Structure 1
Amino acid sequence: MRPLLVVLLLLLLPAANAIVINEIMYAPINTTLYTEWLEIYNNDSQNVDLTGWKIDGKSISGIIAADDYRIIAKNNLKFLEHFNVSCDVIKVAIVLTNSGKNIQLNDSEDKIIDAVFYNSSWGANGNNLNLTLSNYIFFYLFYYIFH
């Protein structure tokens, strides 16, 4: 039964999660110069309307084009002062604690689209590095089998 479940998850998961939380900067080295932020990525071939969506319980909006990114920053102007990005930056009063946190992305029907847990022991705590999602298909496979 487990091999069948693994095959089904491999087939379904990439299509099920078009929007993923892709990067997290939770502990910039200098909080007076930089801001906390996270990046979402649209892994789909269709644009997605974010109206009514929430990240960490806070409302977001806008349209994220197919195969495009959006930065969600506590202070979008401060972010743009220090980073030259080609995607839109959405201002949302997110709080990314330095010790760790579970972040949830919900669609307009309050369905969980993506969720990420990070912990300070993973690194990127106060050293101006960020956490980046890698190989998300295997992460979801692991999560759904063992959670």
Structure 2
Amino acid sequence: MQTAVKFFCGIFVSLACATSAFAGDVIINEIMYHPASTNVLEEWFELYNAGSNAVNLSGWKITKGVAFTFPANTVLVAGGYLVVAADGPTFVGKHPGVANFVAGWSGTLGHSLELSDNTGQVVNAVEFYGEGDWAARVLGAGGVPGALDHYGGLGWEWSAPHDGAGSSLELINPALPNTYAHNWGPSASLNGTPGRANSIAATNVAPLIAGIAHTPVLPAPTDVVTVSARIVDEHTNGLTVTIDYRVDGAASFTTAPMFDDGAHGDGVAGDGIYGAILPAQPNGTIVEFYLQARDAENNLRTYPHYDRRGTRVPGGAE
């Protein structure tokens, strides 16, 4: 019986959302789902109207995560923010001076939110976490290079300040889909920025990398392997995408370009999915790989993401 060739790279997926008319301009923009106090009454999230028209939210509902119906005459102006808080008095005590909020949901925030309009159509939805694509990897043992964890190895840990360390989870660029984890990050401001622009907001970010896949999932020794990923950026021109791979134990990585030309396992040319075809490997081989995407403004993103406090282990295997 043949032993499959194994490929390792961290893969985490977020949900897509439906949009319609001006309602589609209303997006989930900031989330405080795990306050440092662990008091669930301090939970809140924020909506942002990215369009140029006011949107009447009367009768809209939060249909996943918590239960809440927006009261009559709730209007979100163009470019405006609206906080939805678990508890009004608690929110005022924590964020005095923030007046643009509604409050009083039932339940507690988990790891998903879904916003629906007054006809029941889903307007925006997002899943969020404190690990995977929603966090950075840092070396264990306090991020000290060379230090050993309790397993006797270097080890890696998830770093997510928005998950109980005092930050909120903020959308970076509202012009790009908020369904991609790489378009979110922990707030630079303690307790977040409810009711105003996000502290890490930017209009020119490194390309987002999502939907990483390799086929066949369990390749035989005679199989070449196609690695693909969706690349999202403010501009579709000037993108450079590469894959670095190595056989486990090799001293260095081999760099190969990825293409969106329809000829490298990437689907249809120009569809935003980039692909590369890696050579077949002998029986039982383990292959590590990581991806890099650079845009015309020289903004660079590496997948999996890592924190520069430690030494990078690009392949995603610990």
Same fold (TM over 0.5): yes
> Could you list the per-position Cα deviations for residues 77-115 of structure 1 after superposition, in whole angstroms to 9, with x for gaps in the alignment?
211112145442111315212xxx221010111111111
TM-score by length of 1: 0.75
Maintained 8 Å contact 2:48/2:79:
yes
Q: After TM superposition, give the deviation of residue 127 of structure 1 in Å.
A: 0.6
What is the letter of the counterpart of residue 89 of structure 2?
A: L
Give the Cα separation in 2 of the matches to 1:141 and 1:35.
24
Q: Does 1:47 align with 2:54?
A: yes
Among residues 133, 141, 147, which one is paired with 2:171 in the alignment? 133
Maintained 8 Å contact 1:24/1:132:
yes
Q: After TM superposition, give the deviation of residue 48 of structure 1 in Å.
A: 1.1
Q: Does 1:108 align with 2:118?
A: yes
What is the letter of the counterpart of residue 37 of structure 1?
A: W
Distance 1:142 1:87, change over 3 A: same
What is the letter of the counterpart of residue 96 of structure 1?
A: L
Supply the RMSD in Å over aligned alpha carbons.
3.1
What is the letter of the counterpart of residue 71 of structure 1?
A: V
Corresponding residue SS for 1:40: strand
Query: Which residue number corresponds to residue 21 of structure 1?
Result: 28
Q: Does 1:72 align with 2:47?
A: no
Give the Cα separation in 2 of the matches to 1:36 and 1:75.
8
Give the Cα separation in 2 of the matches to 1:51 and 1:16.
12
Corresponding residue SS for 1:20: strand
Query: Which residue number corresponds to residue 265 of structure 2?
Result: none
Distance 1:54 1:33, change over 3 A: closer
Q: After TM superposition, give the deviation of residue 25 of structure 1 in Å.
A: 0.3
> Could you list the per-position Cα deviations for residues 109-145 of structure 1 after superposition, in whole angstroms to 9, with x for gaps in the alignment?
11111111101223211111111112244336979x9
Among residues 73, 81, 91, which one is paired with 2:93 in the alignment? 81
Size of the alignment, in residue pairs? 132
**Larger RCO, structures 1/2 (Cα 8 Å, 6+ apart):** 1
Maintained 8 Å contact 2:34/2:43:
yes
- Rg: which structure is higher? 2
Query: Which residue number corresponds to residue 120 of structure 1?
Result: 130
Distance 1:13 1:139, change over 3 A: farther
Maintained 8 Å contact 2:125/2:179:
no
- Worse overlay, 132-141 or 120-129: 132-141
Maintained 8 Å contact 2:171/2:178:
no
Give the Cα separation in 2 of the matches to 1:66 and 1:136.
13
Q: After TM superposition, give the deviation of residue 51 of structure 1 in Å.
A: 1.0
Give the Cα separation in 1 of the matches to 2:33 and 2:39.
14
Q: Which has the higher helix share?
A: 1
Q: After TM superposition, give the deviation of residue 71 of structure 1 in Å.
A: 0.4
Give the Cα separation in 2 of the matches to 1:58 and 1:67.
23
Corresponding residue SS for 2:92: helix
What is the letter of the counterpart of residue 24 of structure 1?
A: I
Structure 1 unaligned blocks of 5 or more: 1-11
Corresponding residue SS for 1:80: helix
Structure 2 unaligned blocks of 5 or more: 1-18, 135-159, 182-209, 212-229, 231-318
